[in-house]
């Protein structure tokens, strides 16, 4: 089992070590940050939500230019600097004392995080062969979930203590975790920057086929707020299931991804297998939505059964969709511009986490069964649209290589 969870020795394992380092800090931060900002800093919950929405909107805009910077200046150095910038942003949360400083610190945090994600992907592309990238990303996702679980447990200790010092300790831990991440990334071989510049200031935004693939992936990523926000509200407001089931479903999800993501990604090796994986995930996600909807109005243990089955289906869909989208995001990006293209692709996560809570809370918790069915249908439609969009993008990439080979290093 250990060898299955660990990537091969060398750059792949170093990348996983960097992922583990900062995910432990992030796990602790995620479970405590809302209470820190409201109970310790004294911000109203609505102002925290507004500030984070503004911050992640800024971060999503920063992803593409910072990804381009990683391509032009070298992804390793850029990733190290952005990891240190993230550590500094987290440390600044220790001294925020009002709404404006909070928004400024949150914008710095979201910008550094978005850029770091793009730079890491560019670094991965420069160090790992195309055929091994999806498998490594599966390992990194497993590592991420393991680190988040450990961090969440540490955050739980701080929540149990409930003191200002405990919350500050969590923030310090998260800041240190990104410093450690930067130190681990320095151990990687350097990747040469590229000198080819895209035509036009918009760069990747002019690549409409790739943008279409990224947009469809954003629709599929609307599953992200389900586990953290929508299902807790659904369980407590619309079902007879006990509230503790929220925690159980979270453990089920993170444990399944940690154990089975690598296996789920094993058959995804090219555009054809990637689009098939996304299409299958669309059907499974539709089934999950139907099962979640059935839990409303059912008796206690029947509702628990429906929710557990729905959570299993959801995590199966999540692993398939993740593997397929990773393959597509790399295969459809020109070599030498991976950071820039990953910056655009990564905005899907930001958009889903920013707009998803507002959209899905009304659609699912308030509307109920019709909302679940609409969400499932939208995800199925997006999964079927991914095939034509990917072929369009691949065709454009082939035309570029024939007509303007100097633009495709």
Query: What's the pLDDT band for 396 if we cut at 50, 70, 90?
Result: confident
Q: Do the Cβ atoms of 187 and 64 come closer than 8 Å?
A: no
DSSP state of 361: I
- Mean pLDDT of the 31-43 span: 87
Pick the residue with more confidence: 221 or 359? 221
CB burial readout 119-144, b (16+ within 10 A) else e: bbbbbbbbbbeeeebbbbbbbbbbbb
Kind plus residue range of the DSSP H or E element containing 28: helix 11-35
pLDDT tops 60 at residue 256: yes
Q: What is the pTM of this model?
A: 0.82
Query: What's the pLDDT band for 404 if we cut at 50, 70, 90?
Result: low
Do 202-409 and 1-193 fall under one CATH topology?
yes
Q: What is the pLDDT of residue 373?
A: 97
CA distances from 114 to 194, 231, 256 (A): 21, 26, 26
Q: What is the pLDDT of residue 407?
A: 45
Q: Do the Cβ atoms of 359 and 222 come closer than 8 Å?
A: yes
Q: Do the Cβ atoms of 329 and 274 come closer than 8 Å?
A: no
Q: What is the pLDDT of residue 167?
A: 92
CATH for 202-409 is 1.20.1250.20
Query: What's the pLDDT band for 90 if we cut at 50, 70, 90?
Result: very high
Q: What is the pLDDT of residue 401?
A: 60
Which phi and psi (to 5°) does residue 193 adopt?
-70, 160
> Does the 1-193 domain belong in CATH 1.20.1250.20?
yes
3-class DSSP assignment, residue 56: helix
Extract the tokens encoding 314: 């959801």
Domain coordinates in residue numbering, the chain: 1-193, 202-409
- Of the CA atoms within 13 Å of residue 65, those in its CB half-sphere come to 9
Look at 175-189, 321-335, 342-356 and tell me which has the smallest mean pLDDT.
Answer: 342-356
User: Helix, strand, coil proportions of the chain in percent (round to 5)?
Assistant: 85, 0, 15
Q: What is the pLDDT of residue 402?
A: 56
pLDDT tops 60 at residue 408: no
Q: What is the pLDDT of residue 290?
A: 97
Look at 100-109, 121-130, 188-197, 265-274 and tell me which has the smallest mean pLDDT.
Answer: 188-197
């Amino acid at each position: 089992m250990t060898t299955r969870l660990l990537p091969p020795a060398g750059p792949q394992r170093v990348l996983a070590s960097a992922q583990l380092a900062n995910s432990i800090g992030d796990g602790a931060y995620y479970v405590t940050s809302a209470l820190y900002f409201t109970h310790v800093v004294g911000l109203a919950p609505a102002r925290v939500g507004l500030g984070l929405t503004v911050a992640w909107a800024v971060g999503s805009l920063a992803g593409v230019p910072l990804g381009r910077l990683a391509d032009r200046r070298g992804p390793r150095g850029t990733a190290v600097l952005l990891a240190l910038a993230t550590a500094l942003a987290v440390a600044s949360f220790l001294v925020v004392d009002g709404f404006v400083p909070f928004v400024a610190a949150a914008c710095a945090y979201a910008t550094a995080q978005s850029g770091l994600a793009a730079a890491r992907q560019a670094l991965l592309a420069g160090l790992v062969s195309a055929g091994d990238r999806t498998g490594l990303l599966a390992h990194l996702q497993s590592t991420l979930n393991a680190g988040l679980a450990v961090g969440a447990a540490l955050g739980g200790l701080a929540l149990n203590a409930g003191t200002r010092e405990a919350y500050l300790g969590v923030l310090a831990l998260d800041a240190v975790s990104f410093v450690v991440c930067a130190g681990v990334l320095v151990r990687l071989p350097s990747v040469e920057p590229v000198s080819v510049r895209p035509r036009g200031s918009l760069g990747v935004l002019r690549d409409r086929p790739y943008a279409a693939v990224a947009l469809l992936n954003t629709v599929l990523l609307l599953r992200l707020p389900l586990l953290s926000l929508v299902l807790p509200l659904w369980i407590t407001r619309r079902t007879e299931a006990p509230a503790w089931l929220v925690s159980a479903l979270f453990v089920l999800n993170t444990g399944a991804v940690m154990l089975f993501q690598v296996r789920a990604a094993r058959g995804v090796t090219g555009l054809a297998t990637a689009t098939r994986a996304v299409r299958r995930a669309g059907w499974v996600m539709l089934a999950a939505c139907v099962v979640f909807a059935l839990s409303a109005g059912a008796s206690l243990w029947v509702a628990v059964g429906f929710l557990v089955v729905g959570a299993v289906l959801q995590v199966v869909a999540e692993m398939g969709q993740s593997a397929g989208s990773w393959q597509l995001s790399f295969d459809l990006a020109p070599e030498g511009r991976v950071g820039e293209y990953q910056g655009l692709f990564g905005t899907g996560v930001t958009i889903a986490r920013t707009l998803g809570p507002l959209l899905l809370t009304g659609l699912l918790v308030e509307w109920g069964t019709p909302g679940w069915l609409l969400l499932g249908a939208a995800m199925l439609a997006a999964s079927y649209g991914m095939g034509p969009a990917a072929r369009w993008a691949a065709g454009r990439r082939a035309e570029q290589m024939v007509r303007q080979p100097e633009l495709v290093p």
